[in-house]
Structure 1
Amino acid sequence: MNNLEQLIQQWRKWDTNPATLKEIQDLLDKKDENELKARLESRIAFGTAGLRGPMKAGFSCMNDVTVRQASQGLCSYVDKVTPNARHMGVVIGYDGRHHSKEFANITAQAFLKKNFKVYLFETIVPTPFVAFATPELKAAVGVMITASHNPKDDNGYKVYWHDGCQINTPHDKYISQHIESNLETWTESCDLSKVVCPLKQIEQSYFSKIAKYSVAPYGVELAKEPIVYTAMHGVGYNYVIQSFEAFKLPPVIPTEQQVGPDADFPTVAFPNPEEGKGALKLAIETAERVSSRLILANDPDADRLAVAERQADGSWKVFNGNEIGVLFADWAWTHGRKAFGDNVPPNKFAMVTTAVSSSMMNTMAKKEGFSYREVLTGFKWVGNAALDFIKSDHHFLFAYEEAIGFMYGDVSLDKDGVRCAAIFAELALSLYQQKSSCQEHLDSLYKKYGYHISKNRYFFCYDPKKMESIFNRIRSLHNGTYPSQCGSFKIVRTRDLTTGYDDGFETKKAILPTSSSTQMITFYFENGGIATLRGSGTEPKLKYYVEMVGQDKSNVEQTLGQLVKSVIDEFLCPVENQLTPPKDD
C-alpha cells in the first residue's frame, strides 16, 4: 500500500460527513491522483492566525476532520499549559459563512469531551466579541470560526489566548505539535446541551464598556446627519445598531442589499470593503439616495472598518487604512485622553502601529510626546504590544494596521469594527458640526505633521515557490547582494525580516522578530521614501506598500508615483508570468 492509499484509508476512517467523503470518492472515480495528493498529502498549517483555507475534503483544507483535529490539539495544549483551564473554559463564536456553525459545534464537542466549560454563542457574532469575551469571562482560550473578508468558499479558525490577544509564537508551534499527537477522533459527538451561551452577558458588558469612548460627556457638539452603513453580507448590522445606541447616536441607514448575513456574498466578488468603490457601490447608491455624505462599512466578521465620504464636488473619497488611522489617532490624542485627566504626562499615553503602516503616527508621537511602538504586521503583534504598554502603567489610546484594522482603547485587544464604527461616527459628526469634513481635517493634519502619502496594492501570486523566487531575486539584484538603487532612487537602508538582516544597525541584525517562512523586505530611500514588499499570510497575494513624506503635497504625490512605478518595474514585473494584477487594474 503506497502513501496515498494509506492517506485515503485514514480519511475514510476519520470523516463522517457524507459530502466530503463523496468528494474524495469522486476524485478516486476520476483517477485524479494529482488532486488527491494536493488534498491529502499536506496538512493545513496551524499558524499565528490559526487556520484559514478553502472548505473542501482533505487534510489540506477546512472541513469537519481538520477542525476536529485542530480543536483536539488546541484543547490538549491549553489543558497542559494553563492551570485550571477546564474550569476557566473556552469561548467559541462563529460568523455567517457556510459551515461556520457546524465547525463551532465540532470545536465545542472536543472541549466538552475533556470536561471543559464551554461558552458557545447561540448565534452569529462579530469576531471582536470573542476577543472581548475571552478575558471578560476569564476563559482560558477563545476560538472564532471565520475567514474574515476571504472569498465565500473559504473559512477559518482564529484563536485567542486568555488575555484576549490573538495567539502568537511559540503557541502556534506547540499547538501544531499537539494537533499531530491528537489526530485520532476523541468523539463523534457530545451533548451540546451542556454549553453556556454568553450572548446576553457579553452584549450588556461590551456595549456598556465601549460607551466610555463617547465624547458626549465632554460637551463635543455633533451634527445631525444621516450615516449609511453596509455589513457586506456579514454579521455586523445588529451589533453596530447597538454600538450607536450605546453612544446615543441616531441609527445608521442600512444598505439593504448587503445588510443581512449571506454566505454566498451575492453582490460582491470579494466581500472586502478595502477593495474600494467597487465593493462599496451599493452603499454609495444608498447614500446618494438619502443625501448622506458618510458611509461606514464592516467586513463580513465586523472586525475591520472602511470609510467613504462625499466630497464638495459630489465625488466619493474612499479613505485608505492609513488615512483612517491618522484621523483616529488625532481623535484619540485630542479627546481620548480626557478621561484620564490633565495631569497625566504625554509619555504615559501610548499608541501602536505596524511596520507596513504609515510613519505618520511616529511623526505625531515625536511632536506630541506620547509613547509609540512599531510592530510586525498583524494584530497578534499589535494586541500584545498594547498589552505590554498597559502592564507598564501606560494609558493605551489607539492602534491600527493599514489594512483597515483599528483598535481604539483597551476594552479588548484586537481590531474591532463595531466600536470603531460608533467612534468614527462621532469623529465625523463633530467635524461636520464645525463646517469641516474628514478630508479637510486630514489635510490640516498633513499641514501640521507633513504629507505622509502612501500607495498600497497587491499582485496575486498563487505559487509559494514563485513567491520565494521573486524575493530571492530581489536579494541578489546588486552583484549578488541587496539592491542599492531602484530606478533613480538611492536605497540607504534595507531591512529583511525573512533573513533577519537590517543594515540600519551596526550589527546588521534586525530588531523586529523575523520569520523564515514569510517574505518581507523594506527599503528606505535617500529622499525619505519607504517601500515594503511582503507575502500575505492569509491570501495568495504579494503586497507592496510605498510611502513618501514631505511638506509640498504635489511634489510628494509626484515623487510617490515615480517611486511606485520603479518598485513595480524593477522588483516585481521583470519576473515574467509570475504575478497577476487585480482585475480592476
Structure 2
Amino acid sequence: MEASGINFDSGSSELNAKIAEWLQWDKNENTSNEIKSLVKAQEWKVLSGRLLKRLAFGTAGLRGVMQAGFNAMNDLVVIQSAQGLCQYILECYPSAAERQRGIVLGFDGRYNSKRFAELSACVFLTAGIPVWLYSRTVATPFVPFAVQELKAVAGIMVTASHNPKEDNGYKVYWTNSAQIISPHDKNIQAHVLRNLVPLESSWNLDLLRTDQLKDPFDDMYKLYFTKLENNIPKSFIADYNSTSTQRFVYTAMHGVGFPFVDRGFEIAGLQPVKAVKEQRDPDPEFPTVKFPNPEEGKSSLELSIKLANETGCDVILANDPDADRLACAEKDASTGEWRVFTGNELGALLGWWSIRCYREQYPGASLSDCFLLASTVSSKMCRSIADIEGLQFVETLTGFKWMGNKSVELMNQGKTVLFAFEEAIGFMCTPTVLDKDGVSAACQLATMVCYLKVTSNQSLADKLNELYDIYGYHCTITSYHFCYEPVTIERIFNRIRTMDSDAGGYPKAVGANGKYVVQSVRDLTTGYDSAQPDEKALLPASKSSQMITFFFENGAVITLRTSGTEPKIKYYAEMCAKPGQRDWSAARSTLRDMVNCIVEELLEPAKNNLTPRSD
C-alpha cells in the first residue's frame, strides 16, 4: 500500500487504511512525520495502539498524551473533536439567533494549548458560530464563568490540569455552564465519528482575523472579581482581612493561577501573597516538580515550605497548573512541622465557612433550603454538619460534572447551593462558577484564616478539631496505586466480584480470620447494591469505569475506583465517630488496618505490579 509516497503493508487491512487516513488528513508536519517514521520502522504494534483506538469524550472531555495518532492529543484529533462538537451544537441549536450566543474558548500554559484552542476556534467560525477566545492563559474556572455570564451555548478549556507535561486535554462545558454529562458526551462522540474528515478551513488560522472572534478577558476578569468580592461578607473584608498582618506563601505550580490569586487577594483586602518565584509563571516543562499536582502532598510543596520557613509564614496555598484545585498546608506552632490538609479536611472547613458567611450576609435567614454537596467518595463531614445545622446535603457520583449539574437542578428549583466539594482538593465555594475553582477557594480560605486568628486565635487545625467535637470525628484515608495496564485493572476488579460465591461474588470480610465483616456492597460499574431490596444501586451506574464500595459492620466505608483521567486505582476510606466522642486514635488505627487489608487482599500490589503513591 502507498500513501504520501511511502510504500507499506502492515499485514492488516484495517491498520493500512488508518495509516493512509492519517497521512492524508494530518497537515501538521511534526505529527505526520512521526507516523511516517513509525511506518518506515515497521512499528505495527505501536501504530495499532495509536491509530486503531480513539480518544473518547469521558470524565473530563478528552485527555491524553500529546503525540501523533487518533488515540492522542494533536492537531488532527482536536480538529475532529471540534468538528463533532460543532455539528452537535448546530443540531441542538438550529436557530441561527441562538447560535449567535457563541462558544467560549480558553487555554492554559501547556505545550500546544493555545494552538489547540485556535484550531478549535476556526472550526466554529467556519460554521458561523461566534467565538469568545481568551487572548491569554486563564484559570479553568474562567471558561464556565464566561459561559454562564455570556449565556454562551458551550465552552471549551484546553488543559490537562495536573497531568504530566506530556499530556493535554479538552474540557467541555454545556450551555448551563456545567461540565458535560450523558447524553451530551455520547452524542458529541457520535458526531465526532461522523465528521472525521478535516475541512481545509479547520487548518486556516487566518480565519481568526474576523469580528466574529472576540476576547472576553477584560470584561470577565472585572466581573469575576466583582462577584468574588460580593461573595465575601463586607464586614469580614473590613474587620478581619484588612486589619490582619497574616501573610501566605503561594505556588501556582508552574501554572496560570498567580495573577488571578494575586488580584483576588487585593480585592478581598488580604495581604499580597508571597509567591514561589520558581513556580509563579506558566512553564510547560514543570521543571521543579516530579508531578505538577499539589495532591501529591509535601513532595510537591518543597519550595513552598522552604520559602515559608525563610519568611516566617505559617500557611501555604497551592493551585494546580490550571488553578481549579486548591491545596493548603499549615505549620504547627508548637512543633514546627508542616501539615498538608487533605481535600476532605479542607472540605469540612470550607463547608462550615460557607454557612458562616451565609449567616453573616443574611442574618436570621432559614437554612432549610440551603444545600451542601459532595461526591460519593468524599467525606460525609458536610452531611453531619448539614444534619445538625438544618441544611440539606446531597451526594453525587464522583466528579464535578455531577455536582455542577446537580447544582443547576437545585437552583432551578429555587434552592440555594452554598458549597460543593470533592476530596481531590476541588471546591465550589459559590455557584458563581459551576465547577471547582481554586482561585475563589484560595481567597475564601485565606479570609477564614484571618477570621479565625482575629476572633479566636485559632489555627485551621484548631478549628478542624473543634468541628470534629461538634459534628463528630471523621477519619479518612485516601490514596492510590499506579496501574498502567488496563487489562490488569480489569482482572483485579473482576476477581473482587467473584471472590466469594456465597456473597454475590464479593468478599464477605477482609483481614485475618474475617476480622472486618462486610455489611453490604455497592458496585456502580454494574449497578448492584446488596443493601437495596431490589439490589439496584440508587446512584447511576457506569460501565466505563470501575467503582466498588464496601460498607462494613463497624461503620467504616471503603471505596475502590479507577481514575477517569490518570492510570490509577484509588481508594477512599472513612470512619465516623459521634459528636463529642474523643477516642480518635482508635478509629484511625482501625481504619488504617482495614485499608491495609483491602489493599493487600483485594488489589494485591506486589502480584499485580502496582506502584504506590510516592508521598
TM-score band by shorter chain is over 0.9
Equivalent position to 1:168, from 164, 181, 185? 181
The yes-or-no answer on 1:13 pairing with 2:34 is no
User: In the TM superposition, what is the alpha-carbon distance from 1:464 to its structure 2 partner?
Assistant: 1.5
**For 1:261-314, what per-residue CA distance to the aligned partner results, in whole angstroms no more than 9, with x for missing partners?**
100000001000010001000001011111000100000000000000000210
Contact 2:605/2:611 (8 A) holds in 1: no
Contact 2:180/2:401 (8 A) holds in 1: yes
**For 1:557-581, what per-residue CA distance to the aligned partner results, in whole angstroms no more than 9, with x for missing partners?**
1111111111112111177134222
Equivalent position to 1:318, from 340, 347, 366? 340
The yes-or-no answer on 1:150 pairing with 2:155 is no
Match in the other structure for 1:44:
55
Match in the other structure for 1:379:
400
Contact 1:500/1:514 (8 A) holds in 2: yes
Contact 1:297/1:307 (8 A) holds in 2: yes
Letter in 2 for 1:292: C
User: In the TM superposition, what is the alpha-carbon distance from 1:213 to its structure 2 partner?
Assistant: 2.1
Match in the other structure for 2:437:
416
User: In the TM superposition, what is the alpha-carbon distance from 1:478 to its structure 2 partner?
Assistant: 1.4
Please show how residues 89-168 of structure 1 align to structure 2 within 5 Å.
Answer: 89-168=102-181
> Aligned partners of 2:98, 2:184: CA distance in 1, in Å?
15
Equivalent position to 1:4, from 6, 15, 18? 15
The yes-or-no answer on 1:582 pairing with 2:613 is yes
The yes-or-no answer on 1:221 pairing with 2:240 is yes
Match in the other structure for 1:27:
38
Equivalent position to 2:295, from 261, 268, 274? 274
Equivalent position to 1:355, from 376, 384, 391? 376
The yes-or-no answer on 1:246 pairing with 2:267 is yes
Please show how residues 519-558 of structure 1 align to structure 2 within 5 Å.
Answer: 519-550=546-577, 551=581, 552-558=583-589
Task: Give the RMSD, CA atoms, in angstroms.
Answer: 1.3
Match in the other structure for 1:87:
100
> Aligned partners of 2:23, 2:506: CA distance in 1, in Å?
49
Contact 2:233/2:360 (8 A) holds in 1: no
> Aligned partners of 1:537, 1:415: CA distance in 2, in Å?
16
> Aligned partners of 2:80, 2:240: CA distance in 1, in Å?
53
> Aligned partners of 1:581, 1:221: CA distance in 2, in Å?
42
> Aligned partners of 1:471, 1:179: CA distance in 2, in Å?
31
> Aligned partners of 2:391, 2:104: CA distance in 1, in Å?
35
User: In the TM superposition, what is the alpha-carbon distance from 1:556 to its structure 2 partner?
Assistant: 1.0
Match in the other structure for 2:207:
191
Contact 2:510/2:516 (8 A) holds in 1: yes
The yes-or-no answer on 1:490 pairing with 2:517 is yes
After TM superposition, the score normalised by the length of structure 1 is 0.98
- Equivalent residue of 1:91, what SS? strand
- Equivalent residue of 2:559, what SS? strand
- Equivalent residue of 1:476, what SS? coil
Contact 1:228/1:296 (8 A) holds in 2: yes
Match in the other structure for 1:454:
476
- Equivalent residue of 1:566, what SS? helix
The yes-or-no answer on 1:330 pairing with 2:330 is no
> Aligned partners of 2:360, 2:129: CA distance in 1, in Å?
42
Match in the other structure for 2:10:
none
Match in the other structure for 2:282:
261
Contact 1:351/1:386 (8 A) holds in 2: no
For structure 2, the residue ranges without an aligned partner over 5 or more in a row are 2-12
> Aligned partners of 1:253, 1:548: CA distance in 2, in Å?
37
Q: Percent identity?
A: 46
The yes-or-no answer on 1:427 pairing with 2:448 is yes
> Aligned partners of 1:432, 1:230: CA distance in 2, in Å?
22
The yes-or-no answer on 1:232 pairing with 2:256 is no
> Aligned partners of 1:170, 1:560: CA distance in 2, in Å?
38
Match in the other structure for 2:8:
none
Letter in 1 for 2:40: D
Letter in 2 for 1:115: G
Contact 1:407/1:416 (8 A) holds in 2: yes
Change (3 A) 1:337 1:72: farther
Match in the other structure for 1:179:
192
Contact 2:373/2:393 (8 A) holds in 1: yes
> Aligned partners of 2:337, 2:90: CA distance in 1, in Å?
55
> Aligned partners of 1:335, 1:90: CA distance in 2, in Å?
33
Letter in 2 for 1:256: K
Contact 2:372/2:383 (8 A) holds in 1: no
> Aligned partners of 1:198, 1:182: CA distance in 2, in Å?
29
Contact 1:457/1:544 (8 A) holds in 2: yes
- Equivalent residue of 2:339, what SS? strand
User: In the TM superposition, what is the alpha-carbon distance from 1:385 to its structure 2 partner?
Assistant: 1.2
User: In the TM superposition, what is the alpha-carbon distance from 1:221 to its structure 2 partner?
Assistant: 2.7
- Equivalent residue of 1:133, what SS? helix
- Equivalent residue of 2:141, what SS? helix
- Equivalent residue of 1:351, what SS? strand
Contact 1:228/1:252 (8 A) holds in 2: yes
Letter in 2 for 1:74: L
Contact 1:78/1:85 (8 A) holds in 2: no
Match in the other structure for 2:9:
none
> Aligned partners of 1:477, 1:135: CA distance in 2, in Å?
48
Q: Which deviates further from its counterpart, 317-326 or 565-574?
A: 565-574
Contact 1:466/1:578 (8 A) holds in 2: no
- Equivalent residue of 1:157, what SS? strand
The yes-or-no answer on 1:475 pairing with 2:497 is yes
